Structure 1
């Protein structure tokens, strides 16, 4: 645990995360890295003595108004829209009600600072903080400009997303980016780096560790693992195509619905057809969503973890793999440019290039000593930079700067 800054007042912090509840079960289309980020950041800030309240949308009728997540962290369920699951890209019409509810609560008891997560949370928080004169920091987690560039007509985001993101960036006191690539993207939107601080996402270094149980698998063949949401941009089809160039290896693709529902998943069906066409269907396993407690053993079992996304705003899986001492081959995009140090911790390859992915993986599979060295270096890098205590300390520095303005610091962690 990081020691809080001495002789500084503890803060009351409101984290706004409209669709990504820290209480959510992970693995769904709209439940992933942001949920983990908000939950872990809240806990780490509480460890530093701050009082944290997370505001998220009520998405089930039986949810209580408030839940204690852990000592120092409360979760408030905001009535905005129907009390059921609504796809993330359909939530925009409810953000006015969300913001009005925040303002009503904060008129009674205002936080010292508000930190919104994702662009729609930013709109709701901006509505409330403008009315009440409260300081606002914002983390995008993903940018509409990047999504639109890569997905084109397949982008289901509301048409106003990009202009709304610019409004949030201009209206907040500080933008907290998670990687240097995001700073460049923000600059293209007109949000200069003088208004941006970089604080990365983190990983639980006590849970993700090289020591501990290892998932059972055949030791006769090298094991490759891809872990994450089953959406096309994560690049699983590139991993399947690369496997055809790695005849001794097996590939596990973990993510998506539970194992008993995996056969009905459209993306799994598409990937299985690609595997059959590539002649590798017998070497690819789809195991569905993995319970949180089973993720570290699975990462430890892999010889190499693959992260071949078309784009990745940050990417938490490389950190989890590195924390477990497993080398990573990732695409040279987004946050992976910061986290995966090539050649020390693994390899970076161009996106949508199965040959490059296979070459980098093959190099690691042929040399056990090289894999071990990369794994050890990855663990050291995570411990030095990406523990949640370090992330919370960096975030606290940004908060103090918002509350007591001083010359901008572009990168604090």
Structure 2
């Protein structure tokens, strides 16, 4: 496979890169798929993203940028399907993907890159049919999520766990966002360590930046004041920002409880702004409002709909602290983007957040989800402008290393390595004197299954 002109079929079944992050099932994965595709295209690749059509008004093909297009594939009813119901539509989705390729000249793609386990099953069949390598990014892992459930949250079903195990066995390369996720794939899913590659996601540094070249206290304070003026916010009111879906996994309730704890201790209670919508039913948002009212902090909690990316960067610059209290996070894109804007991050010490946030340098990691502990950390940081300025400068420096171009360069190498594994499998299958067998069985043997 040559890197110039590499043709990538990118699969994102359950969420479109064109959807607004922060609502429903749209989140960091949407940003990841779009950012990676555009960075690959900037290096000469051609990327076609396949996602499920969720409206009859969507165009079948939507150009995103030079070298990147999105295909909307009909699979099931346009609306009313929850993510948990999508396994029943994978056959229809796969047929649509294969039909698109069948209408073209043979060998339309050099690699299939699937995102999330549902896409992995489509990619498994497509890659086998087209005789190209399958590269897969999980984004989240059921076994990891089930080990860190919020109280009352439902565990991921056994069907997903089995599905993930099958994709791990079938893929020629598995992409992890952090070394910890790579270890989870090996330890929890028995992945071949040689097939697991760590590629940190990127940040759009043209959008997410401090708004100043002066990373000293005066420069960062000036950039924050500008952002607050543009957003119509008070210049001197302490502001904690949460950006993401309103769901138990993201744990915004921890921040509401921390505000109440600050009030009980007689400490200043900051304004908490949550940029995001409910994931699935609205009841999660209603419950959060009810919790704030019950704890007496409803006037300090403000929920706004998700905003477009440029405006999100402005919110990051306006905040004193960006809080990421997630119970599980494979990477933590919000934390990366906030740091790139020069804003310190207070994050739960879980998953990829332990890698993204440099504890004591660009922010602070909090062990567990005890509101008392979160109140102490947030209160102390808000009361110490000098420390916030120091962490903000460290955050900007830390965020600079996370551009998408580096991620794309690493991903192209992964594609090459996956092609090499496929070539090795072909060679081994030719050396085994057997009767007629489907092409998928030698691959399964190589992955360690019993044929």
Q: TM-score, normalised by structure 2?
A: 0.82
Seen in structure 2, the aligned counterparts of structure 1 residues 382 and 19 have a Cα distance that, compared at 3 Å, is: same
Q: Give the equivalent residue in structure 2 for 1:370.
A: 387
1:214-363 pair list within 5 angstroms: 214=227, 215-246=231-262, 247-248=267-268, 249-256=270-277, 265-363=282-380
- By how many angstroms is 1:147 displaced? 2.5
How far apart are the structure 2 equivalents of 1:38 and 1:376?
29
Q: Give the equivalent residue in structure 2 for 1:140.
A: 138
Unaligned 5+ segments in structure 1 are 1-6, 258-263, 407-413
- By how many angstroms is 1:281 displaced? 2.2
Contact 2:4 2:44 in 1 (8 A): no
Q: Give the equivalent residue in structure 2 for 1:3.
A: none
- By how many angstroms is 1:172 displaced? 0.9
Q: Give the equivalent residue in structure 1 for 2:201.
A: 201
> How big is each residue's C-alpha offset from its partner over 1:333-374, in whole Å with a ceiling of 9 and x where there is no partner?
111011001010010012321122122222322221211111
- Of 59, 77, 81, 2:72 maps to 77
1:10 aligns with 2:26: no
> How big is each residue's C-alpha offset from its partner over 1:11-55, in whole Å with a ceiling of 9 and x where there is no partner?
011111112211113321211111111111111100001111111
Seen in structure 2, the aligned counterparts of structure 1 residues 302 and 147 have a Cα distance that, compared at 3 Å, is: same
How far apart are the structure 1 equivalents of 2:162 and 2:234?
51
> How big is each residue's C-alpha offset from its partner over 1:212-271, in whole Å with a ceiling of 9 and x where there is no partner?
6513322343111111101112111111111134331221122116xxxxxx94223222
SS in 1 for 2:119: helix
Contact 2:321 2:344 in 1 (8 A): yes
Seen in structure 2, the aligned counterparts of structure 1 residues 286 and 65 have a Cα distance that, compared at 3 Å, is: closer
Q: Give the equivalent residue in structure 2 for 1:381.
A: 398
Contact 2:207 2:309 in 1 (8 A): no
SS in 1 for 2:148: helix
- By how many angstroms is 1:324 displaced? 0.7
SS in 2 for 1:197: strand
Q: Give the equivalent residue in structure 2 for 1:100.
A: 95
- By how many angstroms is 1:405 displaced? 4.6
How far apart are the structure 2 equivalents of 1:289 and 1:23?
14
Contact 2:146 2:155 in 1 (8 A): no
1:186 aligns with 2:185: yes
1:153-164 pair list within 5 angstroms: 154-155=153-154, 157-164=156-163
Contact 1:58 1:84 in 2 (8 A): no
- By how many angstroms is 1:291 displaced? 3.4
How far apart are the structure 1 equivalents of 2:154 and 2:144?
10
Contact 2:111 2:127 in 1 (8 A): no
SS in 1 for 2:358: coil
Contact 1:100 1:128 in 2 (8 A): no
Seen in structure 2, the aligned counterparts of structure 1 residues 8 and 191 have a Cα distance that, compared at 3 Å, is: closer
Contact 2:23 2:277 in 1 (8 A): yes
Contact 2:339 2:396 in 1 (8 A): yes
Q: Which moved more, 1:104-113 or 1:388-397?
A: 104-113
How far apart are the structure 2 equivalents of 1:301 and 1:61?
39
- By how many angstroms is 1:105 displaced? 3.0
SS in 2 for 1:160: helix
> How big is each residue's C-alpha offset from its partner over 1:38-83, in whole Å with a ceiling of 9 and x where there is no partner?
1111111000011111111121112222111111111112222223
Q: TM-score, normalised by structure 1?
A: 0.90
How far apart are the structure 2 equivalents of 1:278 and 1:59?
39
How far apart are the structure 1 equivalents of 2:71 and 2:411?
22
How far apart are the structure 2 equivalents of 1:63 and 1:273?
37
Contact 1:59 1:85 in 2 (8 A): no
Q: How many pairs are equivalent?
A: 394
- By how many angstroms is 1:282 displaced? 2.2
Seen in structure 2, the aligned counterparts of structure 1 residues 62 and 283 have a Cα distance that, compared at 3 Å, is: closer
Unaligned 5+ segments in structure 2 are 212-222, 423-451
- By how many angstroms is 1:278 displaced? 2.5
- By how many angstroms is 1:382 displaced? 1.6
- Of 19, 23, 43, 1:48 maps to 43
